[in-house]
Structure 1
């Protein structure tokens, strides 16, 4: 397996990606899987881990940085733009369509965390995608509005919208609008302010476990009002009759969103549980990643024939 750095365009923005190929393999065009990273993540973290392991199992894979994030272009930096995130997935499929080694009729999507929701939306509107899967998949807009576990006080998001409105006004006046911090300063602050999910995120993104220099620590304030009106699950019903696989940890506080998607899906669908795994455990803990990759290999092997 070899990894190459590549770029492709997405609505006028240059997207940076890693292409994992089957070095020396022959036998004609091969199946391929596009892998999207979690919110605030980059292609070198969870997305790269899954892309590498799926490549080892025989798939061409493409892990990319979302627009405005990582090594990809776009300004302001740290913007979480749902429509652009969906476009990035479609642009990644278009890039794979240009490669002789890729079979255009055997392309799938894998979205991790926030990319899970975006991959569902992209697949619903793009019939070039033959199968779609998620790992710890969420709609990040729902997560902002309702909280990771769905129990957040509505006042929390109203305060974020107030701050986003002030930031837009500041920018219009030529002032620095600042940015929204994603992580508290310590695990203790995360526990006090936002609960177990925030602690998990801090332990992955802000410690040696998963920290990466290009992983976003803040979101541009414009992200908040864009997320206010976004619904990554709106096109789930359009995915059928193509197959859908969702992989979720039994301890994931975000699992309610995968259950919602499962109930909306109209085609072949499976909600596959990884025993004892939390949401973030599935990013990098090999005892949980290995069975997830086994399931993904079986799913894509069967549906990207």
Structure 2
């Protein structure tokens, strides 16, 4: 894993500049295209480490109590989460599991959503996925569509054991790339009564097909060839190689990459444990995503309701629109006028918390 104490070095060069440019243009979701030909430089510190007494990127609410929890998933990996409870609560509470974005930690967007919904009367658990943040698992900063889907259900296990929670009234919120995994989890986990996704990504789709499904079969085959051979290099060294550091600007990036940088690499949303805050995924992370379409069974969420929320101007909007079309009733697609992808991470004046609250009040009654 990258070390913030090292002197920053530039990433290793590649003889195929065209493929490197394609990788940069596609950003965090499909950065692995050509990753086998790229080295990973050490992480870049971009802002001060959060205050040790409150290490979140958002202000602490005086209406909410907070405590840290640890729990194990079905694969034996210990996960760490933050439980937010409304101070004025009485009796057993409806509860919400909150995860995401992909490459983020619970001290960022998921924690903000969890704390805000706790202010509105819900017990909320924001957690770090396996291999990231404060959660366990080795190597660090690797993702899995199966294990990370399981993480959501493990969080439901944990919430259902809390004395403040009514385990028959549990919902779920998935943000960005973990929105797709939340949908995948709810399709099989019938304990969850309702699900909301915000600025959702289907990570298996973007890693296997590229943005707007633009990757050709020849490009996909070449990527898989590179990643397959990277496994031998990792096996020889006894440790994984890492992709280039995320959200480090080099110039001429499209607007959505500038938006990511504005969140993850400035005091607005920077957190040293987040993969996206100048750290990196392993180079072979995309392998398990490239032949496992996680939204295959989205229609089986029904008759439980789904609320998709996305920004009008988000580059990722088509993910929610496609998923909405594939989902069965009851379902709702809410487009936020003027909002881009990252606006729904933390812009509390734009995130439709009133609608999310009414949705869960109705369906977790």
TM-score band (shorter)?
over 0.9
**8 A Cα contact 1:32 1:108, kept in partner:** yes
Aligned to 2:289: 227
Q: CA 1:258–1:201 in 2, change beyond 3 Å: closer, same or farther?
A: same
Unaligned runs of 5+ in 1: none
Q: CA 1:18–1:255 in 2, change beyond 3 Å: closer, same or farther?
A: same
1:199 to 240, 245, 258: 258
Residue 230 of structure 1 and its aligned partner are, at CA, apart by 1.9
Secondary structure at the residue paired with 1:172? helix
Aligned to 1:45: 108
Partners in 2 of 1:281 and 1:147 — Cα distance? 22
Aligned to 2:335: 273
**8 A Cα contact 1:32 1:60, kept in partner:** yes
Deviation per CA, 1:142-197: give whole Å up to 9, x if none: 122233444356665545433322321012223554111252531625x1xxx333
Partners in 2 of 1:92 and 1:156 — Cα distance? 37
Higher strand proportion: 1
1:125 to 188, 191, 200: 188
Aligned to 1:215: 274
Secondary structure at the residue paired with 1:219? coil
Aligned to 1:282: 344
- What is the number of equivalent residue pairs in this alignment? 298
- Are 1:64 and 2:127 matched, yes or no? yes
Matches within 5 A, 1:67-106: 67-106=130-169
**8 A Cα contact 1:69 1:78, kept in partner:** yes
Secondary structure at the residue paired with 2:237? coil
- Are 1:183 and 2:246 matched, yes or no? yes
Residue 101 of structure 1 and its aligned partner are, at CA, apart by 1.2
Q: CA 1:98–1:176 in 2, change beyond 3 Å: closer, same or farther?
A: closer
Partners in 2 of 1:148 and 1:199 — Cα distance? 17
Partners in 2 of 1:197 and 1:225 — Cα distance? 25
Unaligned runs of 5+ in 2: 1-63
Residue 47 of structure 1 and its aligned partner are, at CA, apart by 0.4
Bigger radius of gyration among the two? 2
Secondary structure at the residue paired with 2:251? helix
Aligned to 2:9: none
Higher helix proportion: 1
Q: CA 1:237–1:47 in 2, change beyond 3 Å: closer, same or farther?
A: same
Partners in 2 of 1:152 and 1:198 — Cα distance? 19
Residue 267 of structure 1 and its aligned partner are, at CA, apart by 2.4
TM, length-normalised to structure 1? 0.93
Residue 99 of structure 1 and its aligned partner are, at CA, apart by 1.3
**8 A Cα contact 1:131 1:300, kept in partner:** yes
Secondary structure at the residue paired with 1:7? strand
Partners in 1 of 2:216 and 2:112 — Cα distance? 35
Secondary structure at the residue paired with 1:173? helix
